Chain A
Amino acid sequence: MPRWFRIWEKKRGSRRTVSRVVASVGETFFFSAIFFFGVIFTAMAAASTMLETWPIRTMFPEVAYVEGEATVQEIRVVQVGTEDYPHYQPEALVLLDLPQRQHHLWTLRRSPLSYSTEEAAWNRLDGYEPGWIYPCWYDPSSPGQSVILERTPAWGLWVIFLVLISFIVIGGIGLIYTLLLMGTSVERRSAIASKAKTLELLREAMPATTYPSIPNDANLTNSPGVRLAFRLPIEVSPGWWLLATLIFSLLWSGMAGVFFIAALGNHLAGKPDWMLTIISLPTIAIALAAISQFLREVTAHTRVGPTGLEISNHPLYPGKEYRVFVTQAGKMKVRQLQILLVCEEAATFLQGTDVRSETKRVVEEEVAAAKAFEIKPGLPFEADYQLKVPEGCMHSFKSDHNAIHWKLVVQINADHGTRLNRSFPIVVYPAELEAAR
């Protein structure tokens, strides 16, 4: 059956649709062009600066100036600009005495300075006393027109060199990387990467793992429990979620408020802007929904206190039994508190330029359920349950774009429509070898 031609759908994944050789050659040309552009223009700019020729000399004439000495004969402030907006320019009359002839010029810097007040312009001339000799700089080819008492830092010249050198660095690194990858198989690249991990220095920092591709559980076992061996950390802190809801509702309400005031102002002035009014209505509706959600979250979190989950052992193995101890504080009438053992597959992929992720639950086992009880302040709910990891199930796994996550989820369904899910990640290892054999 012929496939439909998809017009709008973005290309999925990073798979190439062109020849690998063509792609490599194209990348080599691209990075070579950047690299050689950088090299040629850096060399030209450096030569032009050293030889004091075009184009650097035209752009930054001060690079060709030589140092000398000049006598300040007089100082003054000149009014420039318009009648309505006058500006004041400080100047000094200097005498440059060269063997060939003497030059007189009103000057200070190559790019004249001007101030909005006369006092500021006079302050700028502090330190220049008539009759005194000061260092000066001038272009030897035209000293009479170029003499200055202060040099302007040539920041622009440094920026030009920085940009040109960045071309060399980017082009060079890209070129080396492309050449290294050219004709190298994916397996060889992967082997090089894993070899790099086993280098002496890195090996000291990261001890070799007995179970490759299984996430480290150090962060899950660093907090001892009160009743059982380990207190499991919560996956996403409710505080962060509450803060995110607050920030979103504040920002959205601010924007909706601006829309509302502008639309209302137009209506009151008798010039209604219907387009703005139509846009404002859904914006205000979303803002009200966001505020309502935030208030519901605050109410839920003040009523439902912290959830604690402890486990007798970690990591977990398929087919083995463990004890879990749950504590739930707060002030509420609970219809049901359920603990679930969950395994989820997670995959990340590129869709066009977007990074998308998808999860699929493959295991969902009820560990325990407690129904119809009340939690009072200072008297948290506490219970001890048995947990069994299903036999023959997949272990935890993590690679760059794919993962298998195991977690314990505490689901609370309380009065006043309060529903909360709190997740506690765990790590499941493959069944122990003796059992597997």
Chain B
Amino acid sequence: MSLQPKIEIMLDRPNRTYLPDDELIASFEIKGTRPSEVQAIEASVLWYTEGTGEEDLATHDFRRLLPIDRNDADLTKRRKFQTRLPRSPLSYQGLIVKIRWAIRVRVFMHQGKEYMEEVPFTLGDLAPAVPIAAKRSSRKRTDDAA
């Protein structure tokens, strides 16, 4: 009987906040399964959109690991990778468009099953968008207080 793997992803910064052009160092490890069960692993640094529109997705860095590519052939061991983050798009919490950055690791098992784990991080330091009406009333309150 095959075991369900647990994917553990770790980032070098505990606050998971990066600036454009920063170096991101991440590591991942597959637990709870035998190395012989794993057919391939895909690790990607990507952004995707959320909100009203259809989801758009783009990978900034993508690696596919196969047992035959490695000398040790054990893909479940902790692996470390690093990438220089791009200048855009920045993480954004809009009203109908949201941009999320994440490290995603996907494990493909020999039986055809696949498991995925994702750890979000923030690129840039943009404040969430505020509806214009709320912005105006807040500005009015500030003016009144002054």
Q: Say yes or no: A358 contacts B96, CB within 8 Å.
A: yes
Q: Say yes or no: A399 contacts B44, CB within 8 Å.
A: no
Q: Say yes or no: A345 contacts B87, CB within 8 Å.
A: no
Chain B residue numbers with a CB within 8 Å of A345 are: 51, 94-97, 129
Q: Say yes or no: A210 contacts B87, CB within 8 Å.
A: yes
| A221 CB → nearest B CB, Å | 18
Per-residue CB contact flags for chain A residues 1-39 toward chain B (1 = under 8 Å, else 0) read 000000000000110000001000000000000000000
Within 8 A of B (CB), among A419-437: 429-430, 433, 436-437
Chain B residue numbers with a CB within 8 Å of A395 are: 88-90
Q: Say yes or no: A401 contacts B19, CB within 8 Å.
A: no
Q: Say yes or no: A191 contacts B53, CB within 8 Å.
A: no
Q: How far is the CA of A363 from the CA of B130 in the complex (A)?
A: 9
Q: Say yes or no: B95 contacts A430, CB within 8 Å.
A: no
Within 8 A of A (CB), among B95-119: 95-97, 99, 104, 106, 108, 112, 114
A102 part of interface (Cβ distance < 8 Å): no
Q: Say yes or no: B97 contacts A403, CB within 8 Å.
A: yes
Q: B20 touches which one: A14, A361, A430 (CB < 8 A)?
A: A430
Q: How far is the CA of A348 from the CA of B49 in the complex (A)?
A: 12
- Identify which of A185, A214, A361, A433 gathers the most chain B CB atoms within 10 Å of its CB: A185
Q: How far is the CA of A213 from the CA of B46 in the complex (A)?
A: 13
Chain B residue numbers with a CB within 8 Å of A190 are: 46, 57-59, 62
A404 with B126, Cβ < 8 A, contacts A191-B59, A213-B89, A362-B132 known: no
Within 8 A of B (CB), among A228-266: none
Q: Say yes or no: A212 contacts B44, CB within 8 Å.
A: no
| B17 CB → nearest A CB, Å | 12
A187 part of interface (Cβ distance < 8 Å): yes
Q: Say yes or no: A399 contacts B106, CB within 8 Å.
A: no
Q: How far is the CA of A392 from the CA of B90 in the complex (A)?
A: 11
B35 part of interface (Cβ distance < 8 Å): no
B127 part of interface (Cβ distance < 8 Å): yes
Q: A211 touches which one: B88, B129, B132 (CB < 8 A)?
A: B88
Q: Say yes or no: B129 contacts A430, CB within 8 Å.
A: no
Q: How far is the CA of A404 from the CA of B19 in the complex (A)?
A: 20
Q: Say yes or no: B94 contacts A404, CB within 8 Å.
A: yes
Q: Say yes or no: A348 contacts B54, CB within 8 Å.
A: yes
Q: Say yes or no: B21 contacts A433, CB within 8 Å.
A: yes
B67 part of interface (Cβ distance < 8 Å): no
Q: B53 touches which one: A183, A210, A401, A437 (CB < 8 A)?
A: A401
Q: Say yes or no: A402 contacts B106, CB within 8 Å.
A: no
Q: How far is the CA of A437 from the CA of B125 in the complex (A)?
A: 10
A400 part of interface (Cβ distance < 8 Å): yes
B8 part of interface (Cβ distance < 8 Å): no
Q: Say yes or no: A392 contacts B127, CB within 8 Å.
A: yes
Chain A residue numbers with a CB within 8 Å of B129 are: 345, 362, 394
Q: How far is the CA of A245 from the CA of B95 in the complex (A)?
A: 33
Q: Say yes or no: B124 contacts A347, CB within 8 Å.
A: no
Q: Say yes or no: A185 contacts B124, CB within 8 Å.
A: no
Q: Say yes or no: B53 contacts A360, CB within 8 Å.
A: no
| B109 CB → nearest A CB, Å | 12
B92 part of interface (Cβ distance < 8 Å): yes
Chain A residue numbers with a CB within 8 Å of B19 are: 433, 436-437
Within 8 A of A (CB), among B36-64: 42, 44, 46, 49, 51-59, 62, 64
Q: Say yes or no: B49 contacts A399, CB within 8 Å.
A: yes
Q: Say yes or no: B62 contacts A361, CB within 8 Å.
A: no
A397 part of interface (Cβ distance < 8 Å): yes
A349 part of interface (Cβ distance < 8 Å): yes
Q: Say yes or no: A187 contacts B86, CB within 8 Å.
A: no
A191 with B56, Cβ < 8 A, contacts A394-B92, A401-B49 known: no
Q: Say yes or no: B88 contacts A214, CB within 8 Å.
A: yes
A273 part of interface (Cβ distance < 8 Å): no
Chain A contact residues, CB within 8 Å of chain B? 13-14, 21, 183, 185-188, 190-191, 194, 210-214, 345-350, 358-364, 392-395, 397, 399-404, 429-430, 433, 436-437
6 closest cross-chain pairs (CB), A and B = A347-B53, A191-B62, A399-B56, A401-B54, A347-B52, A187-B44
Task: Provide a sorted-by-A list of 28 A–B residue pairs whose CB atoms are within 8 angstroms.
Answer: A183-B108, A185-B42, A185-B114, A186-B57, A187-B42, A187-B57, A187-B59, A187-B104, A190-B58, A190-B62, A191-B62, A211-B87, A212-B88, A212-B89, A345-B129, A346-B97, A348-B53, A397-B88, A397-B89, A401-B54, A401-B55, A402-B51, A402-B53, A402-B97, A404-B97, A430-B20, A430-B88, A436-B124
Chain B contact residues, CB within 8 Å of chain A? 19-21, 42, 44, 46, 49, 51-59, 62, 64, 86-90, 92, 94-97, 99, 104, 106, 108, 112, 114, 124-127, 129-132
4 further A-B pairs in the complex, CB-CB below 8 A; given A188-B62, A399-B49, A430-B90: A187-B46, A187-B57, A213-B58, A402-B53
